[in-house]
Structure 1
Amino acid sequence: MGNRSTKKSVDDEVKEALERKDEALAAAKIQVYLEEEKNVPLNIAITGETGSGKSTFVNAIRGVGDDDEEAAPTGVVETTMEATPYLHPNFTNVKLWDLPGVGTMNFTAAKYLKEVGLEKFDFFIIVSADRFRENDVKLAKEIQKMKKEFYFVCSKIDVDIENEKRKREFNEEKTLKQIRDNCTQGLQDQGFESPQVFLVSSRELHLYDFPLLVETLERELPDHKKNAFLLAMPNTSLEMIDRKKKAFKSKIKYLATLSAAVAGVPVPGLSVAVDLSLLVSVVTQYVFGFNLDIPSLKRLSNYTGVPYEELKEVIMSPLAATIITPDLLLRILVQTAGMALLMAVEEGSRFIPILGIPFSMVLSFTFTYKALNLVLDMLAEDAKRVLHKSCGVNG
C-alpha cells in the first residue's frame, strides 16, 4: 500500500476523532503514523566481483572513511566472506549489506542469492570497477527472475579519469561517454536490451552519476520506503537537500495537528511542555537528516579533508553541531518575532471559559507549524553552505 493512501486514511481518522472531540485518539493515530514512518526498514544489498569497490561504496554512502572504526573492511583481496550488515550512523532502520564478491566461488547465481537471503533486500546495487562480466549478468538475471530491482554501478570513475588525463587529447565528457558505452555494450552483449549504468566515484560522490542514482532509486522505491532512503543518503547536491527538506516538510502538518490535539487536554502547562518535547525530537531528526550533527560533520571532514572547524564556521543556526535541548530550543524561539507571544497567548487562553480550549488548539497548531518551518529553513540553508564548503557545490 502506497504512502499516499496511508496518508489519506490517517487524515480521515484524525479528522473524525477531532470532530468527535476525542483529542487523545487523534493524537494516538498521528503518533502511530509518525512512529511507523520513522522506523520503516530499508535493506540495501551491495554486490559485485571481488575488487570492484563494494566495501568502499558501502562506506561512502554511510559517510564514513575506509579507515574509520565502523567502516566496512576494504582491500585488494576479497574481505567479505558472508553478507554483512552495516547500520547507517544516523538512521538505524537503514542497513547496507556488503555481500561476498560473486567471483569468489564456483558461481551459481541462484545458489548465491539463496545463501545471502534474497528476500530480505529491497534492491541490489551491482558494482563493477571497469566493465560488467558474465557473473554480474548471471546475478542480475536471477534477481530479475525473483522480481527484485537491481542497478548497475561502475565505481572508481575518478581513477579512470585520472588515468585518461595523461593523454594529450583528453576530454572528460568524451571519456565518460566511452566508459558508459563500454559498460552498456558489455551488458547488451549478455542479453540486456537497454541497461542503465551509473558512473560513480566513491571518493567524490557529488560528481558524476551518484545524484542521478539516488534520484532514480527514490523514484522507483515503494512510497513508504522513499523517505527512509532519501534521508539516509549523504548530501551530494543542492537538489538532494531540497528533496530532504520537502520530505521533512510533508510531516509538519501532522506534527502541528498532534500539538493541537494535546492542547485540547485541559491541563495547565501540558501543551507547552509537550510542544517543546516534540520539537526537540523533530529538530534532532532534521539535524541528523541534513548531516549537521557533530559526528556527521567530523566524518565529512575526514572524508573530504576539509577541517571540521572550517565546516562549523559556515553554519549559521545555533541548532546545528550541538545537542538539542528544550532550553536551547525555547531560547531560540523566544528570540524569534511572534513565537514568544504565541506561546504565552496559547497558555493563557486555556483559562477562557468555553472558547479557551479550541482557541488554545489553534494557537498550538500555529506555533508548532511556524516553529518547524522556521527551523527547517535554517537547517536546510546550513546544509547547503556545508556542501559548498566541503565539495565546492554552489547554490
Structure 2
Amino acid sequence: MAAQPPKDVLRLSAEEVEALKVAFEQGSLPATASKLQEMLVFLESVRLDVGITGEAGSGKSSFVNALRGLGDEDAGAARTGVVETTREPTPYQHPRYPGVTIWDLPGIGTPGTPPDTYLEQVGFSRYDFFIIIASQRFTAHHAALARHIQGTGKSFYFVRSKVDMDLTSSLQRRPASYSKAGVLQTIRKDCEEGLRAQGIESPRVFLLSAFKLGKYDFHLMQDTLEKELSHHKRRALLLALPGLSRHILEQKKAAMQEHMWLVSTVACGLHAVPIPGLLVSCDVDLLARTLQGYCKGFGLDHDSLERLAAQTVQPVEQLKAVVRSPLASEVSGMLVVQRLKDVGVEAPTLAPNVLTAIPVLGSVASTALSFATTYKMLRNFVDDVAADAQRLLVMTFRVEAKE
C-alpha cells in the first residue's frame, strides 16, 4: 500500500483527488486549469435566495438582519417594528456575498395576503427555500402557507422566534423552579403539537433568537440546511453566515478547504509566473483575491469589524488587537509571495507527498511542487484566520474556550 501524505500537508478528499486525476488525464495542464477555472467562477457566482415570512410582529425583519450579520440599526438593515412594515417582497443583499439575498416577505394573515394566493404574490419561484417565523403559536395561517409551499416542491422550515424573551419571562415568574431546558422543551412541544393539529405531519421547528443567533437551535437548523441544500448552495450559505458560534466557524473553515485544490490548480496552470527565489510558478493575483475572500468570510475586514464593535459596544481597535493575521485590505501580492516563501522551506518534502497522493502530477514535476506549495500556503492562511475568528468570538461574545 502506498504511503499516505501527512494530513497537515495535503487534505484532499478521495472525490477531489479523483477529479484532479481525471482532469489531468483528459488534457494538458493549461486545458485542465482552464476547465477548473470555469468551475471556480461558477462557485463564486452561485445565487442563494431565502424567503423569510410569518405573521406581523414575529421578528421577520430582525431575523433578516441577523442572517446578514447586521443589527436593526445598522446601515442597510431591514426596517423593523411591532406592526407589519413590509408591504412588498424586499431583497436584502448580503454585505460581503452579493450572490446571497435574504428576502423580507409581507406578513401572512394580513389584509390582502390570503394563503392561497400569497406565494404567487411574492413570486415563490425565485426562492431556494422559505423560513416561516412565529413568535408565539403557529396558527392556521402558518400551516396553510406550509401546505402551499409543499405543493410547489420548495422546502420550508418553521422557526419559533424570540425564545430568549420567553426564557427571561419564565425566570422572572418562576425563579425557584426555572429550568432553561424545560422551558425550551415546552415551547418546542407546544409548537409541534399545534402544527400537527393543523395537519402538518412531522413538523420541524427550530427555536431561535435573532439577537442571539448562535444559540439555541441555530446549529440544528444549519445542519439541516446543509443536508438538504445542493452542494453549491450549501457552500454559499455557510460562507455568508455570521460567525457567531464555534460550530459555524468550523463549518466555514471546512467549506473553504473544500475548494483549495481548485484554486491551487488554476493558480499554477493559468497565468502562472515564476516566484523569485523559489522553484514555484503561480498566479499571485488570484491567490491574493482568494486570501482576501478568506478574510471576509471570517469577518476579518474593516467593515465587519466596525459593525461587530458597534454591536458589542467595544472599541474597534480593541478587536483588531486580537487579530494576528492581516485584514482583507492588507492582503497584497507581496504578502502572497512572502507566504509562499515561508512554505517554500518545506518544498523538498511537499512535492513527494503530493506525487504520492496524485501520481498523475508526476508528468509535470515542477507543477507538483508549485501545486503543493500553493496548497500548503492556502491551508496555513485559513488556519490562521480561523484562529483569529475564534479569538474574536471568545472576546466579543464570551464564548467559552471549550464550547
TM-score by length of 2: 0.85
Are the equivalent residues in 1 in contact too, given 2:53–2:104 (CA < 8 A)?
yes
In structure 2, relative to structure 1, the CA distance for the partners of 1:307 and 1:175 (3 Å cut) is farther
**1:329 to partner: Cα distance:** 3.1
Task: Name 1:185's counterpart in structure 2.
Answer: 193
In the aligned structure 1, how far is the partner of 2:190 from the partner of 2:312? 30
Identity of matched residues, %: 40
Counterpart of 2:57, as a letter, is G
| 8 Å contact kept, 1:211–1:236 | no
The amino acid that maps onto 1:193 is: E
Q: 1:325, CA displacement in angstroms?
A: 1.2
**Once the 2 structures are TM-superposed, how far is the Cα of residue 239 of structure 1 from its aligned partner?**
2.1
Q: Are 1:327 and 2:334 an aligned pair?
A: yes
Partner in structure 2 of residue 131 of structure 1: 137
Task: Give the CA deviation at 1:341.
Answer: 8.1
SS in 2 for 1:377: helix
**CA offsets 1:362-393 (integer angstroms, 9 cap, x no match):** 22112101100110110111111111112122
**1:222 counterpart = 2:230:** yes
1:110 positional shift? 3.0
Aligned length: 373
Q: Structure 1 CA distance, aligned partners of 2:244 and 2:274? A: 46
* Letter matched to residue 376 of structure 1: V
Which of residues 298, 301, 306 is equivalent to 2:306? Answer: 298
The correspondence of residues 1-395 of structure 1 with structure 2, limited to 5 A, is 11=20, 14-17=23-26, 20=27, 22-167=28-173, 168=175, 169-262=177-270, 274-317=282-325, 319-320=326-327, 322-334=329-341, 336=342, 338-339=343-344, 358-395=364-401
Instruction: Return the offset for 1:342.
Output: 5.3
The letter of the residue matching 1:305 is: V
Distance 2:44 2:96 in 1: 12
Q: Distance in 1 between matches of 2:146 and 2:274?
A: 61
Cα deviation, 1:190-241, whole Å, max 9, x if unaligned, reads 1123212111111111211112111111111122211011111111221221
Distance 1:248 1:273, change over 3 A: same
For 2:92, what is the secondary structure of its paired residue? strand
Deviation per residue, 1:120-152 (Å, 9 max, x gap): 100000011111111111101100111110000
Compute the RMSD of aligned alpha carbons.
2.7
CA distance in 2, matches of 1:30, 1:394: 41
Moved more, 174-183 or 306-315: 306-315
2:3 corresponds to: none
Distance in 2 separating the partners of 1:140 and 1:6: 37
Aligned equivalents of 2:19 and 2:43: distance in 1?
A: 12
| Distance change >3 Å, CA 281–CA 91, structure 1 → 2 | same
Q: Secondary structure at the match of 1:86?
A: strand
Code of the residue aligned with 2:204 in structure 1: it is: Q
* SS of match in other structure, 2:172: coil
The CA deviation string for residues 88-113 of structure 1, in whole angstroms up to 9 with x for no partner, is 11111100000000122244223110
Q: What is the CA-CA distance between 1:250 and the residue it aligns to?
A: 1.3
Q: Separation in 2 of the partners of 1:192 and 1:211?
A: 23
What is the TM-score of this pair, normalised by structure 1? 0.87
More displaced stretch, 102-111 vs 33-42: 102-111
In structure 2, what is the Cα distance between the partners aligned to 1:195 and 1:163?
Answer: 26
What is residue 351 of structure 1 aligned with on the other side? Answer: none
In 1, the alpha carbon distance for the partners of 2:347 and 2:270 equals 16
Greater CA drift, 43-52 or 160-169 = 160-169
CA distance in 2, matches of 1:301, 1:272: 40
The amino acid across from 2:142 in the alignment is D
Q: Deviations over 1:286-309 (max 9, x none)?
A: 111111111112222222334322
Instruction: Describe the shift of the 1:110–1:71 C-alpha distance in structure 2 as closer, same or farther (beyond 3 A).
Output: same
The Cα shift of 1:186 comes to 1.2
Shift of the 83–154 alpha-carbon distance from structure 1 to 2, 3 Å rule, reads same
**CA deviation map 1:41-92 (0-9, x unaligned):** 1000000000100000000110111111200000112111000110011111
Give the Cα separation in 2 of the matches to 1:77 and 1:223: 37
- Flag structure 1 segments of 5+ consecutive residues without an equivalent: 347-355
> CA, structure 1 residues 205+94, in 2 after alignment: closer, same or farther (shift >3 Å)?
same
Report the alpha carbon displacement of residue 9 of structure 1 after superposing the two structures with TM.
Answer: 9.0
Q: 2: CA distance between counterparts of 1:287 and 1:24?
A: 29
Where does structure 1 differ by over 6 angstroms across 4 or more consecutive aligned residues?
A: 4-9, 269-273
- The residue aligned with 1:349 is none
